[in-house]
Amino acid sequence: MNIAVVQMNPVFGDVAANCDRICALLQRADAEVVIFPELALSGYFFTSREQLAPIALDRESPALAAIESVCRQCNKVAIVGFPERNGARLYNAAVTFDPRGERHYYRKTHLFYRERFVFDEGDTGFGVSEIGWLDLRIGTMICYDWRFPEAARTLALGGADLIACPSNLVTHVWRMAMPVRALENKVYVAVANRIGSESDGSETLTFNGRSAIYGYNGTVLAELPADTEGIACAPIEPAKTRNKSFNPINDIFADRRPWAYRL
Ligand code: ACM
């Protein structure tokens, strides 16, 4: 099985254009599982709830239905970041479309920088989606969640083989941590980051690409450049992540000592 991370430059505020682009890239990706960036349907740098609210999507939105329909046509799983509206609440969310099953939603737990003035804190917790026909368990976290090792650990303890991380990363330090999240949990990690920049008039955020897929021992399986759109693919073997031993005696889950930890 192949997985892919898509690196793109969403058009700020233009859901229809971003949806078309996501559908085209989804068709093109040579992989059963295709991961898109955080807020890929909307762009990122919203600075007030009033600005975001008209753009935010409810779960019945035609844009989500259009992507789901391409997933069904191509028989691919897609994970896509979008701003979710639920009544008066706004979430920085990601949806997993299983072409042979249900949708799974994740709402970002740890809000980064000015996101906290725009979004409500996610309330889903860290769940794992079982993709039966691929024998694959996907856990989703979004961007800044990487700073909290508890997020990846919770997903791994929940049975994830692959942690998908739709992102809009603006620093470079994540490149030290993401392979470690893979290694310390013995899971695959896929970071779909965006490129380009967005400004609110007084401040500009630049997104630094380098989307990557890491193997369960922390090696780089595929990587994209810092400033071009593209798709990176890698083969994965999910079942290999389920045996948490790394030598005949040690097993990183069996060797945990929760009594000694204060989390
Ligand atoms: C981030 O959480 N978008 C850095």
pLDDT at 214: 98
Ligand 1 atom closest to Cα of 142? 2
Q: Which of 19, 23, 38, 84 is catalytic?
A: 38
Please list the rounded mean pLDDT of every run of 10 residues in the chain (263 residues).
Answer: 98 98 98 98 97 98 98 98 98 98 97 97 98 98 98 98 98 97 98 97 97 98 97 98 97 98 86
Q: Tell me the C-alpha distance between 91 and 49, whole Å.
A: 11
Locate the ligand 1 atom nearest the alpha carbon of residue 44 and give its number. Answer: 3
- Specify the ligand 1 atom closest to the Cα of 167: 3
Q: Which domain holds residue 159?
A: 2-260
CA of 95 to the centre of ligand 1 (A): 17
pLDDT at 26 (0 to 100): 98
Q: Which pTM was predicted?
A: 0.97
> 125, 152, 143: which is closest to 241 by C-alpha?
152
Number of domains in the chain: 1
The answer to whether the CB of 91 falls within 8 A of the CB of 41 is no
- C-alpha 206, offset from chain centre: 19
23, 71, 143, 165: the active-site residue: 143
Burial class (CB in 10 A: 0-12, 13-18, 19+), 148: middle
Tell me if residue 74 is catalytic.
Answer: no
Ligand 1 pocket test: pick from 36, 38, 147, 148 the residue with the most ligand atoms within 8 Å of its Cβ. Answer: 38
Task: Give me ligand 1 centre to Cα 76, in Å.
Answer: 26
Domain at 89, CATH number: 3.60.110.10
Query: Is 143 one of the catalytic residues?
Result: yes
Residues contacting residue 138 through CB under 8 Å, at least 6 positions apart: 33, 77, 79, 96, 128, 129, 131, 160, 161, 162, 163, 164
| Residue 170 in tokens | 């603006």
DSSP collapsed to 3 states, 137-160: EEEECCHHHHHCHHHHHHHHHCCC
Catalytic residue among 23, 71, 108, 165: 108
Q: Determine the distance separating the centroid of ligand 1 and the alpha carbon of 110, expressed in angstroms.
A: 9
Q: Residue 111 CA: which ligand 1 atom is closest?
A: 2
- CB of 45 closer than 6 angstroms to any ligand 1 atom: no
